[in-house]
Amino acid sequence: MAKRGISILKDIEASTVIDLLNRAYCDEWLAYYQYFIEAKVIKGLMKDAVIAELTLHAADELRHATLISTRIIQLGGTPILHPGDWLKHSNCGYDAPENPDVRSILDQAIKGEQCAITTYSNILDIIRTKDIVTYDLVSQILADEVEHEEDLQSLFDDLKEFMEQFKL
């Protein structure tokens, strides 16, 4: 734990930031697994294009978990150690892809990204002027989540248009 780096926090305890980050850390692992397993079980039209997107997103969520864990440690905290705690501490939970249809999976994934956007936006509101390093990190992650929602929504819209055109 580096003292000077922590001393630049203003009007916020490191433990508060660690708690916010640990919740987001759980979300990222759950999002990673959700994308991973969705890419395996998905069925239906345009499935290959969607699998490519889900796989890219899975890699991004795992990268986010890495970035967040590094910041938790910098702040003197410990990332959640037990996978059994991920659901308990997450903001967005986990939506098992019980219906493998491509539309259902895209719909679930879009909702997950929307929850991530709300979560990171709330974190930024709390730490905006208080922890500039975490603020910068979370801003980068938020930009990725906004891009994820957009990519999924455009796939969903393309699929809908295709199905309407061919009356499927």
- Rounded least distance, CB 151 to Fe ion, Å: 9
Which one, 9 or 109, has the nearer CB to Fe ion?
109
Which one, 9 or 123, has the nearer CB to Fe ion?
123
User: According to the binding rule CB under 5 A, does residue 95 interact with Fe ion?
Assistant: no
- Rounded least distance, CB 168 to Fe ion, Å: 28
Site for Fe ion in 118-157 (CB under 5 A): 145, 148
Name the token pair of 133. 């390093």
Tell which residue, 96, 94, 92, 34, has the closest CA to residue 61. Answer: 34
Kindly write out the interface string for residues 39-78 of this chain, putting x where it contacts Fe ion by CB under 5 A and - elsewhere. Answer: ----------------------x--x--------------
| # binding residues, Fe ion (CB under 5 A) | 5
Residue span binding Fe ion (CB under 5 A) among the ranges 22-30, 42-50, 86-94, 119-127: 22-30
Which one, 131 or 145, has the nearer CB to Fe ion?
145
Which one, 9 or 105, has the nearer CB to Fe ion?
105
Taking residue 165's Cβ as centre, other Cβ atoms within 10 Å add up to 8
Return d(Cα 41, Cα 60) in angstroms, integer.
20
Residue span binding Fe ion (CB under 5 A) among the ranges 2-10, 25-33, 86-94, 101-109: 25-33
Which residues are near Fe ion by CB under 5 A?
A: 28, 61, 64, 145, 148
